[in-house]
Structure 1
Amino acid sequence: MPVIRHAESRRTETPNAVMTTLASPTLGGAGQALWRVDMQPGATGPLHTFDAEQVWTVVDGGATVELDGETLIVVPGDTVVMPAAAPRRVSADPEVGFAAIVAASPGACASAPDGTGKTVPAWTV
């Protein structure tokens, strides 16, 4: 399917963000997973890893990204390449929140930094 209509996108709510799947193997047959992350002001995701590289481009707001022991401040237009297995945590700006478009291999597995709790998030398949 060459066009995935907005009405066909898949929305997944987590305790920290809303993930909107824009393209994935189960959503139009794409070979990559592409989703939008929306976080409310001050929201913070869990410390975790992925077994595949992710590319995050900030489209609105801002965030603090803890990535493999380094703290990064990102704003609209910035792109963060998160290597596979690097521990990461994203915290939305406390006043304006955060939105990003993320690309990764479909079916990438997330887990706690110690490797426990492995799961494939719904927005990546």
Structure 2
Amino acid sequence: MPVIRHAESRRTETPNAVMTTLASPTLGGAQHALWRVDMQPGATGPLHAFDAEQVWTVVDGGATVELDGEKFTVAPGDTVVLPAAVPRRISAAPEAGFAAIVAASPGASASTPNGTGKTVPAWTV
């Protein structure tokens, strides 16, 4: 299907964020996974790694991205390339929160930095 309507998007809530799947193999047959991340002000995700590269473009608010122990502050319009297998953590700005559009290979697995707890998040398939 060439058009995936907003009403067909898939919303997944976690303790740290809301992911809205915009395109994926199970949502319209796309060969890529594309989703929006929305984090409330001050929210912090867990330290984890993915087995595939991800590209995040900030659309609203701001965040601190911890990547392999180094911290970067990002704002609207910034794009962050998160390499595969590198530990990362995202912390939303305390006042503004954070929203980004993310692209990645579909079905990528997330795990703790030591490789345990491997799972394929619902928003990537």
TM-score, normalised with respect to structure 2: 1.00
Residue 74 (structure 2) pairs with residue 71 (structure 1): no
Match of 2:93 in 1: 93
Q: Secondary structure at the match of 1:123?
A: helix
TM superposition shift of 1:100? 0.1
Aligned residues: 125
1:34 is paired with a residue whose SS is: strand
Gaps of 5+ in 1: none
Q: Aligned residue for 1:16? A: 16
Q: Which residue of 1 aligns with 2:41?
A: 41
How far apart, in 2, do the equivalents of 1:115 and 1:89 lie? 15
Provide Cα deviations, 1:77-109, integer angstroms capped at 9, x if missing partner.
Answer: 000000000100000000010000000000000
SS at match of 2:123: helix
Residue 69 of structure 1 and its aligned partner are, at CA, apart by 1.6
Which residue type is aligned with residue 109 of structure 1?
A: S
SS at match of 1:4: coil
Counterpart-to-counterpart distance in 1, 2:65 and 2:12? 21
For 1:84, what is the secondary structure of its paired residue?
coil
Indicate the residue corresponding to 1:60 in structure 2.
Answer: 60
Q: What corresponds to 1:123 in structure 2?
A: 123
CA-based RMSD? 0.3
Instruction: With the length of structure 1 as denominator, give the TM-score of the two structures.
Output: 1.00
For residue 119 of structure 1, what is the amino acid of its counterpart? T
Q: CA deviation at 1:68?
A: 1.2
1:4 aligned partner: 4
SS in structure 2 at match of 1:102: strand
Please identify runs of 4+ aligned residues in structure 1 that moved more than 2 A: none
Residue 67 of structure 1, CA deviation: 0.5
Q: Secondary structure at the match of 1:22?
A: strand
